[in-house]
Structure 1
Amino acid sequence: MSDSIRTYGGWRRRRGLGLAGMDTTTTFLALGAALIFLIAASLKPAVLLYLAPPAVLVGLLCFIHVGGQPVATFLLARIRWWWSSLRGYTRYRAGIVIDHPRAFHLPGVLAPLTLLSAEDGYGSRYGVIWDRRTGFLTATLNVTPASPWLADRDEADAWVASWGGWLASLGHMPAVRWVTVTVETAPSPGTALSDAVTASIKPNAPQTAQEILGKLVASAPAASAEVDTRVSVTFDPKRTQAKDLTQAVAELGRILDALAGRLGGCGVSVAGRMNAAQLAGTIRTAFDPYARAEVARVLSRPDSSELLGWADAGPVHALEHPNRYEHDGGTSVTWAWQEPPRQNVHSDILTRLVAPGPFPKRVTLQYRALDSATASRTLQNEVNAAAFRAQVKQRTGRDETAHDAWDAARARQAAAEEAAGAGLCLVSLYATVTVTNPEQLPHAVADVESASDSSKTRLRILWGSQAAGFATTLPCGICPPDLTRRSL
């Protein structure tokens, strides 16, 4: 008798009441325009000569899709990009020789952020990213995940179950806006090993031994990789009783202790909170891959907080293109999760995507947990929307597709599970790859897209939003859906 392997699934993309691939707002606008057209035609048929051309144009813009989105949305994105580029919003250059406290602001959506250093109550300090526009605070935990291949299958399943319970508990913490989990991998520059070996070699050591160690150090960068896993928690002080920034940071520290204490059952061990120098160094190496070895040396020193600050984190130059992002020593491409796996998958489905590769890469999963009242209302709206689409197809004489039937069943299943006590999370996935040689960019793009295919996920390049997507994979608490709501 063979053991059964547990699988996971049930992810579903939010659809709302949209018809023919349109969102809810566009659907009601199209229905309103059609109603006005019919009323005008019934009152005065001659007006059809004037209403027909714009009606046909609106129909073409709404119902014809390009790359999975309506032509109207496609054209609007292009127009907004052209206008932003014309006004210089896609370019950034730091004023290095300007004696001004705001000369080293980060570009784009990172501009309102600043770095704070707070006490953790145990004699150490940790870094907090403060968004001065929204008031949000973001702190990051360094974690070390255990390998599921070195554990029993039942133990790995228990880790996944505990992670689901950990995410569900976020719904009972209204001050936690979202949690961002990032796995960053990069080919190791070998400087740490080289420095350690050089410091340990005695001057009177045999020449043969020194040559062997030198060859080992020289071959290590091609066979090793750096892997860092981070859990960033974004906190909204407005949802607490905190009266000032000091009280808000103290409340954030208590929440971090509570969340970190429950991560042990999820198969990860918490290595501690990232301090201000580590946060600045992580952002610096993302913008300038050539600085990775230098930043590693600085962080290994006891006075790293004095040598590496927020002014050192940002790039000197950045230029956003529609399909890539150029910054200091590298060029990056960022994707977003267009569709999750439709079938049930194993717990190691993302292994290939997050595994180290030939290029620096960051894969980010962002979780926005909803409270019970909001979750129940959201899922009920999704069920009603699925029923509405089915009724429209029935009344128009069209058969329900297999995809629509599957989507409706998933919506009802999610609503039933929430009613039984399950939590609800809105999940997003982002992936960023960086190259130091622009000629290698096609190879890096192919490598990530191939890994996403093996992970049963569909990624889509963030056209016109490369800078925002790049910032999302950093430990800065950036959330693209929140940015969209603010812009609207």
Structure 2
Amino acid sequence: MSEQTTYKEPTYGNWRKPRTAGIGKLGALETMAMIAALLVLLFIFRLAGPIPGFIAFIVLAVALVVFTIRDQHGQSRITRMLAKRAHRKAVNRRTNLYRSGPTGLVPGGTAQLPGLLAKSQLHQFVDSFDRPFALVFMPDTNHATVVIECEPTGLALEDPQTIDTYVANWGGWLADLGKQSDVVAASVTVETAPDFGVRLRQWVDSNRHPDAPPATVQMMEQIKETFPQSAPVTRAFLAVTVTAWRQGAPRPRKVEDLGIDLAARLGKLTEHLEQCGAGDAHPVTAQTLCEVVRSAYDPAVAQHIAAAHAESVTPALSWNDVGPIAHNSGWEWYRHDSGFSKSWVMSVAPRGEVFSNVLEAVLSPTGEVDRKRVTFLFRPVSAARAMDVAEKDVNAASSRANSTNTPNFRAIDDYAKTVQTAKEIAKDAGMLNFGVVITATTRYAEDALAVSYTMEDLAAESQLTVRPAYGAQDTAFAASLPLGLVLPDYVMVPSKIREAV
């Protein structure tokens, strides 16, 4: 008799926040600042006496508390104070307001995209499979992004072994990005929006037989009215961002050169996505991308776009017309044309080990939310640097674990994770930095509070610790769009300093 083996569903995890070596919970920069403060304190005690020294001690202690004590999202008090001050400054200068169109301040009277997307350019090329594809070029960072639309079949009817294969293939697809020297980022956007039923109504009306039984006509009329209310549309987009700079090149590549290069590589990027559970994957055209962005900034226009397509009419849209006519970026909310949105960013990934369906709650359609986008941001570490980064993380985690005679469990667990990561990278695994941006949009401001509670509950159900993008709602909204924005490249503070804190 053959022995039957029982299937054991695998778990996933081992992600961690990269941290530099320091004393206890402090980073490298904070540790150096504390040592410098102690040296200054000793000199004050020695040269000025005990009273000035005691006063200096109080001042330095308060400063240490302000800079080092963090909340559950990893934010210090000084970080929150600086964010509020920056937003208050923007409100005073009215730079949080935007007006475009014929009565706005944009030259030419166009509805140009605001904020970080203001200088973006849209081009269209044809790949090696004769498929037109859009290319979004960002002059400020010399980044170019191609967008791929996927049609995932869902996991409801899939057996666990197939799901595990999808996850493994997806991990391999992401790992391959680190082996391409010019790929700087990738993102996956899952958007759920209401189905207006325009195409359904047009199809039912055009196929109605004049002699159809009254009961059948009544049933189809009920379907026309009820189906759009219970069947939201889910769309998935994958954006891959490359840099125009090539290592050793004297100057960045031109947009035309980037288009030719990506046209030859786009087939390879899409051919393996079906094995990741993405279904049919095809590049997004410039027209489709314009419609996606226009509907995001003005949700009311989505119904008109659907009605035009039902009549086989292509809406006339250009990249200069897809931005909002007006927006108001508040501290916690973002008002744009006919939409009222709020965005959250992930501060802590799911802790411990999780199953493959951990994000099902936050990704599934939600009746209480008109439109919802969940965007996963990936920044691959090049295969040439991955092992060096892993070894540096191991050394930093080991230093923190051994900085005290009785290291806490979190430091020990962090060290174990870095060792496991180094072992996997030695076996040709990939390394990525990742984050999550969630945006919920409603048509009516009075529903905003209920939508906020719903989204935070869904994030908690998916074991995501999220915080509102306070003071940066317009930026987070743009980052959630499938346009390949690489936010760290727009931050004025150098990355080495940010990582050391």
- TM-score band w.r.t. shorter chain: over 0.9
CA distance in 2, matches of 1:412, 1:141: 35
CA distance in 2, matches of 1:301, 1:311: 25
Assess if the C-alpha contact under 8 Å between 2:100 and 2:109 holds in 1. Answer: no
Equivalent residue, structure 2, for 1:86 = 92
Per-residue deviation, residues 79-135 of structure 1 (Å, max 9, x unmatched): 122122222221111132479447422111111212112222444422111112222
Compared with structure 1, are the counterparts of its residues 152 and 231 closer, same or farther at alpha carbon in structure 2 (3 Å cutoff)?
Answer: same
CA distance in 2, matches of 1:39, 1:103: 62
Assess if the C-alpha contact under 8 Å between 2:401 and 2:408 holds in 1. Answer: no
- Identical positions, percent: 27
Confirm whether residue 77 of structure 1 aligns to residue 83 of structure 2.
yes
Equivalent residue, structure 2, for 1:130 = 137
SS of 1:283 mapped into structure 2: helix
CA distance in 2, matches of 1:253, 1:37: 62
Equivalent residue, structure 1, for 2:357 = 348
CA distance in 2, matches of 1:243, 1:58: 47
Equivalent residue, structure 1, for 2:400 = 389
Per-residue deviation, residues 369-422 of structure 1 (Å, max 9, x unmatched): 11123222222222222222233333xxxx322222211211121122212322
CA distance in 2, matches of 1:20, 1:328: 48
Confirm whether residue 105 of structure 1 aligns to residue 105 of structure 2.
no
TM-score, normalised to structure 1, is: 0.92
Amino acid of the structure 1 residue aligned with 2:292: T
Confirm whether residue 217 of structure 1 aligns to residue 224 of structure 2.
yes
Taking the TM superposition and a 5 Å limit, the aligned residue runs for 1:44-443 are 44-45=48-49, 47-48=52-53, 51-66=56-71, 68-97=74-103, 100-101=107-108, 103-202=110-209, 205-239=212-246, 243-299=253-309, 304=314, 307-358=316-367, 359=369, 360-394=371-405, 399-443=406-450
TM-score, normalised to structure 2, is: 0.90
SS of 2:239 mapped into structure 1: strand
Taking the TM superposition and a 5 Å limit, the aligned residue runs for 1:452-467 are 452-467=459-474
Per-residue deviation, residues 231-250 of structure 1 (Å, max 9, x unmatched): 11111121277742211111
Compared with structure 1, are the counterparts of its residues 275 and 300 closer, same or farther at alpha carbon in structure 2 (3 Å cutoff)?
Answer: farther
Amino acid of the structure 2 residue aligned with 1:326: R
Per-residue deviation, residues 417-438 of structure 1 (Å, max 9, x unmatched): 2123221011111111111111
Equivalent residue, structure 1, for 2:498 = none
CA distance in 1, matches of 2:464, 2:310: 38
Amino acid of the structure 2 residue aligned with 1:57: V
**Post-superposition offset of 1:327:** 0.6
Compared with structure 1, are the counterparts of its residues 23 and 326 closer, same or farther at alpha carbon in structure 2 (3 Å cutoff)?
Answer: farther
Assess if the C-alpha contact under 8 Å between 1:115 and 1:310 holds in 2. Answer: yes
Deviates more, 1:246-255 or 1:290-299: 290-299
CA distance in 1, matches of 2:428, 2:43: 48
CA distance in 2, matches of 1:393, 1:301: 71
CA distance in 2, matches of 1:70, 1:261: 45
Compared with structure 1, are the counterparts of its residues 3 and 64 closer, same or farther at alpha carbon in structure 2 (3 Å cutoff)?
Answer: closer
Amino acid of the structure 1 residue aligned with 2:343: T
**Post-superposition offset of 1:281:** 0.7
SS of 1:411 mapped into structure 2: helix
Amino acid of the structure 2 residue aligned with 1:390: A
**What is the aligned-residue RMSD (CA, Å)?**
2.4
CA distance in 1, matches of 2:122, 2:39: 53
Q: Give unmatched runs, 5+ long, in structure 1.
A: none
CA distance in 1, matches of 2:424, 2:10: 18
Deviates more, 1:231-240 or 1:24-33: 24-33
Aligned residue pairs, count: 483
Assess if the C-alpha contact under 8 Å between 1:353 and 1:455 holds in 2. Answer: yes
Assess if the C-alpha contact under 8 Å between 2:112 and 2:322 holds in 1. Answer: no
**Post-superposition offset of 1:23:** 4.5
CA distance in 1, matches of 2:484, 2:357: 26
Assess if the C-alpha contact under 8 Å between 1:64 and 1:70 holds in 2. Answer: yes
**Post-superposition offset of 1:211:** 2.9
